[in-house]
Amino acid sequence: MCGIGGVLYKNATGKVGADLKRLIYGIRHRGEDSSGVAIFSAKEKIGKYDVLLINVRVENDKAAEDVLAIVEDLLKKVGGEILEARTKGTIMSIRAFYEGSEPDLCYELDKCKVQTISIGNQLRIYKDLGTSDQLDEIYNYSSVEGTHGIGHARLATESVVSPDRAHPFWAYGFSDVAIVHNGQLTNYWKLRRKFERWGYQFRTDNDSELIAIYIAHYLKTDMKLQDILVQSLEDLDGTYTFLVSTPTEIGFAKDKLAAKPLVYVDMEDRVVLASEEISLQALLPDMENVTVEEPPPYSTGTWSITGEHNFTKLTYRAVRLE
């Protein structure tokens, strides 16, 4: 199974962390192996610099000191600096100045055996073993405000249970792109080999990570998110519904078999999406006054933080073998 959820506030900042906690708690029955959230907030600027948010994994207090020294050293070499570092559970959240290439920073951290969970000017990912409420007890992500975000409750299918294989998946090396996925990609290894030939690096053997890399790659070519999602329905084989989040949008793609559910409500102040209505009920007190929509099979949609909505329904024609 697996449960996915997302929330996007229109032209406003809202209680994204608290919303995601309730949404994902509402679908915890779809997977209790691990859980996670990706929260996007507005860019923080100090003078002319954008503050970079880096979340890395640390295993204990000693490791935290070592990891901090490594990051500090790497940033110094390129004229960057750490503004703040806080550790909760096994995640260190760093705010930094850094003008260099983000993939290069990740690869350097990798060489020093530091696992990056997310990098971006707007994105922070918190993910770990257990349910969304257990995750919140450690990371207190429910206090984080933002513009939009996505969350996940995992029942592992394609790879073992571990904190780094929990969702959301960040497109390794690329800032501010995250996905959550319910389903299986049957052409994962074939596509992964293609992306590796193009120079992309994967950090896990979880099929969902491919979706993040796929989207980051096409965003780099200046394609619109909605067009990438439409194209993904052709390129990704298997059964899936996934949500993606960029600095300005949330999108979904639902394959032609539509075995993985998705519902949403599009309200005046925000859009809320989830695998099941029971999850929406966990968040929205007044379900009587909202219209729950269900995207049809083989469709995609996006919502932007400025209120635009796009929707595409593809037509599937089965090939007849004569």
Ligand X SMILES: NC(=O)CC[C@H](N)C(=O)O
Nearer Cβ to ligand X, position 116 or 241?
A: 241
Please identify, among the stretches 80-88, 99-107, 154-162, 211-219, the one whose residues bind ligand X according to the rule CB under 6 A.
Answer: 154-162
Please identify, among the stretches 6-14, 79-87, 95-103, 200-208, the one whose residues bind ligand X according to the rule CB under 6 A.
Answer: 200-208
- Copy the structure tokens of residue 235: 């390129």
Nearer Cβ to ligand X, position 122 or 206?
A: 206
CB of 38 vs ligand X, minimal distance in Å: 15
Burial 82-92 (b: 16+ CB within 10 A, else e): beebebeebbb
Catalytic residue among 2, 71, 106, 117: 2
Footprint on residues 170-189 left by ligand X (CB under 6 A)? 181-184
CB of 152 vs ligand X, minimal distance in Å: 8
DSSP reduced 3-state for 53: strand
Residue 40's nearest CA partner among 130, 144, 136, 171 is 144
CA–CA distance from 48 to each of 53, 82, 97, 250, 267 (Å)? 16, 16, 11, 28, 36
- Copy the structure tokens of residue 6: 């997302």
Residue 158 binds ligand X, judged by CB under 6 A: yes
CB of 285 vs ligand X, minimal distance in Å: 29
Nearer Cβ to ligand X, position 40 or 242?
A: 242
Binding-site member from 22, 154, 192, 270 for ligand X (CB under 6 A): 154
**Among positive and negative, which fits the CA dihedral 209, 183, 7, 125?**
negative
**Among positive and negative, which fits the CA dihedral 165, 169, 172, 173?**
negative
CB of 168 vs ligand X, minimal distance in Å: 11
Instruction: Determine whether 106 is an active site residue.
Output: no
Nearer Cβ to ligand X, position 134 or 184?
A: 184
Nearer Cβ to ligand X, position 24 or 284?
A: 24
The 204-243 site mask, x for binding ligand X (CB under 6 A), equals --xxx-----------------------------------
Q: CA 178, CA 244: separation in Å to the nearest integer?
A: 6
Nearer Cβ to ligand X, position 22 or 181?
A: 181
Q: CA 161, CA 67: separation in Å to the nearest integer?
A: 24
Residue 155 binds ligand X, judged by CB under 6 A: yes
Residue 157 binds ligand X, judged by CB under 6 A: yes
CA–CA distance from 217 to each of 119, 200, 299 (Å)? 16, 9, 21
Q: CA 35, CA 130: separation in Å to the nearest integer?
A: 6
CB of 27 vs ligand X, minimal distance in Å: 11
Identity at 19, one-letter amino acid code:
D
Contacts of 49 (CB under 8 A, 6+ apart): 97, 99
CB of 151 vs ligand X, minimal distance in Å: 14
* Residue numbers at the binding site for ligand X (CB under 6 A): 1-2, 154-159, 181-184, 206-208
Known catalytic residues?
A: 2
